Amino acid sequence: MSDQSMPEVNAEFGATPTITFHGPAPSGLRAVELVEGDGPVVRKGDTVTVNYHGVVWGSDQVFDSSFQRHQPASFGIGVGQVIRGWDQTVPGHNVGSRLVVSIPPEYGYGRQGMPQAGIGGDDTLVFVIDIISTR
């Protein structure tokens, strides 16, 4: 599935993401499945384990990346433990999937942003998410 408004990302599960931007961020919350996994479906309320890579739209500066730490992250999904953009896009995808998600401020850190991570209140966030497991 090609989406002209979304950035180009390498579609290789487990590989450190490379993200190339073309033009302005799309409006609203957007998710594109780059690789469709064949594992169990993630459901709201599951504990999901992922690798992820986060940048501000148009930037090459990574603000958070479990790939760079070589340490996947686990958390409850769909239950308010992470930003709304994740809670609304990760459930419904299979283990083994690679997603690219564009998250506007209202689904991310809101108007206050997250200054310590270099995220402004108007910034759209982009995450590449590899779903490793769910339980």
Over residues 77-93, the pLDDT tens digits come to: 999 999 999 999 999 99
Residue 114 in domain: yes
Residue 1 in domain: no
**Cα 13 from Cα 4, distance rounded (Å):** 21
Residue 11 in domain: no
Say if CB 45 and CB 69 are below 8 A apart: no
Over residues 100-120, the pLDDT tens digits come to: 999 999 999 999 999 999 999
Q: Work out how many domains the chain is built from and give that number.
A: 1
CATH number of the domain where residue 111 is located? 3.10.50.40
pLDDT confidence band for 3 (50 / 70 / 90)? low
Residue 2 has pLDDT above 70, yes or no: no
Residue 3 in domain: no
Which domain does 66 fall in, by range? 28-134
Residue 101 in domain: yes
Buried b (16+ CB within 10 A) or exposed e, 22-61: eeebeeebbbbbbbebeeeebeeebebbbbbbbbbbeeee
Residue 13 in domain: no
75 phi/psi in degrees, rounded to 5: -165, 165
**Cα 96 from Cα 3, distance rounded (Å):** 21
Over residues 34-76, the pLDDT tens digits come to: 999 999 999 999 999 999 999 999 998 999 999 999 999 999 9
Residue 46 in domain: yes
C-alpha distances (whole Å) from 16 to each of 1, 12, 51 are: 21, 9, 9
**Cα 59 from Cα 39, distance rounded (Å):** 32
pTM of the entire structure?
0.96
Residue 54 in domain: yes
